[in-house]
Chain A
Amino acid sequence: MEALEQIKTRVEAAVAGAKLEIIPNDSPSGHRSLLIDAAHAMSVATFLRDDSQLRMDYCSCVTGVDWLDAVLKEKVKVRKLVEGVEKEVEETIEKQRPGVLEAVYHLYSMQLKQGPVILRLRTGNRTDQVHLPSLTPVWRGCEFQEREIYDLYGVIFDGHPDLRRILMWDEFKDHPMRRDYVEPDDYEYEPTPHDDVLSKAKHHYPSPAAAK
Chain B
Amino acid sequence: MMDRATIAERPQNFEILPKRSANGEVHGDLLEVAMGPHHPSTHGVFRMDVVLDGERVMKLKPVFGYLHRNHEKIGETTTYLGTMPYTDRLDYFCSLTNNWGYALAIEKLAGLQVPERAEYIRVITAELTRLQNHASLVGFLMQDMGALGTPLMYAFREREKILDLFEALTGARMMCNYMRFGGCRVDLPPGWLEETNKVVADFPRFIDEFEALLSGNEILMARTQGIGALSQELAINASITGPMLRATGVNYDIRKVDHYGIYDRFKFRVPLGEHGDVFDRYMMRVLEMRESVTILEQALRDLPEGPIIDPKAKLRGFRPKAGEAYGRIEAPKGELGFYVISDGSPNPYRYKVRPPSLINLTVLEDMCLGQTIADAVVILGSVDIVLGEVDR
Q: A residues bordering B, Cβ < 8 Å? A: 25-29, 31, 57-61, 63, 65, 104, 106, 110, 113, 116, 118, 139-145, 152, 165-169, 176-177
Chain B min CB distance to A166 (Å)? 6
Report the separation of the CA atoms of residues A66 and B65 in the bound assembly, to the nearest whole angstrom.
Answer: 22
Interface bin, chain B: 35 or more
Which B-chain residue is minimally distant from A138 (CB atoms)?
A: B237
| 8 pairs of A and B residues whose beta carbons are closest in the complex | A141-B239, A27-B323, A28-B111, A29-B325, A61-B354, A29-B108, A167-B65, A140-B238
Establish whether residues B73 and A29, one from each chain, have CB atoms under 8 Å apart when the complex forms: no
Q: Is B358 an interface residue (CB 8 A)?
A: yes
Chain B min CB distance to A107 (Å)? 10
Establish whether residues B239 and A176, one from each chain, have CB atoms under 8 Å apart when the complex forms: no
Establish whether residues A177 and B72, one from each chain, have CB atoms under 8 Å apart when the complex forms: yes
Establish whether residues A25 and B323, one from each chain, have CB atoms under 8 Å apart when the complex forms: yes
Q: B residues bordering A, Cβ < 8 Å? A: 64-65, 68, 70, 72-73, 108-111, 234, 236-240, 250, 252, 257, 320-326, 328, 335, 337, 339, 341-342, 349-350, 352, 354, 358-359, 361-363, 391-392
User: Apart from A27-B321, A63-B352, what are 13 other A-B pairs with CB-CB below 8 Å?
Assistant: A27-B320, A28-B110, A29-B111, A58-B239, A61-B337, A61-B354, A110-B250, A116-B326, A144-B362, A167-B64, A168-B65, A176-B70, A177-B72
Which B-chain residue is minimally distant from A139 (CB atoms)?
A: B237
Report the separation of the CA atoms of residues A60 and B311 in the bound assembly, to the nearest whole angstrom.
Answer: 33
Q: Could you list 13 A-B pairs, sorted by A, with CB under 8 Å?
A: A27-B110, A27-B321, A27-B324, A28-B110, A29-B109, A29-B323, A29-B325, A104-B339, A110-B252, A116-B326, A140-B363, A168-B65, A177-B72
Residues of A within 8 A of B392 (CB): 167
Known contacts: A57-B236, A60-B335, A106-B339. The answer to whether A26 contacts B110 by CB under 8 A is: no
Contact of B352 among A61, A139, A142, A169 (CB under 8 A): A61
Residues of A within 8 A of B352 (CB): 61, 63
Report the separation of the CA atoms of residues A19 and B109 in the bound assembly, to the nearest whole angstrom.
Answer: 28
Contact of B65 among A57, A65, A145, A166 (CB under 8 A): A166
Report the separation of the CA atoms of residues A168 and B65 in the bound assembly, to the nearest whole angstrom.
Answer: 6
Residues of B within 8 A of A140 (CB): 234, 237-239, 362-363
Report the separation of the CA atoms of residues A27 and B391 in the bound assembly, to the nearest whole angstrom.
Answer: 30
Known contacts: A57-B236, A60-B335, A110-B252. The answer to whether A177 contacts B359 by CB under 8 A is: no
Contact of A144 among B70, B326, B359 (CB under 8 A): B359
Known contacts: A58-B239, A60-B337, A139-B239. The answer to whether A26 contacts B325 by CB under 8 A is: no
Which B-chain residue is minimally distant from A148 (CB atoms)?
A: B358
Establish whether residues B322 and A27, one from each chain, have CB atoms under 8 Å apart when the complex forms: yes
Residues of B within 8 A of A113 (CB): 252, 257
Report the separation of the CA atoms of residues A65 and B350 in the bound assembly, to the nearest whole angstrom.
Answer: 7
Establish whether residues B337 and A143, one from each chain, have CB atoms under 8 Å apart when the complex forms: no
Known contacts: A28-B111, A61-B337. The answer to whether A166 contacts B237 by CB under 8 A is: no
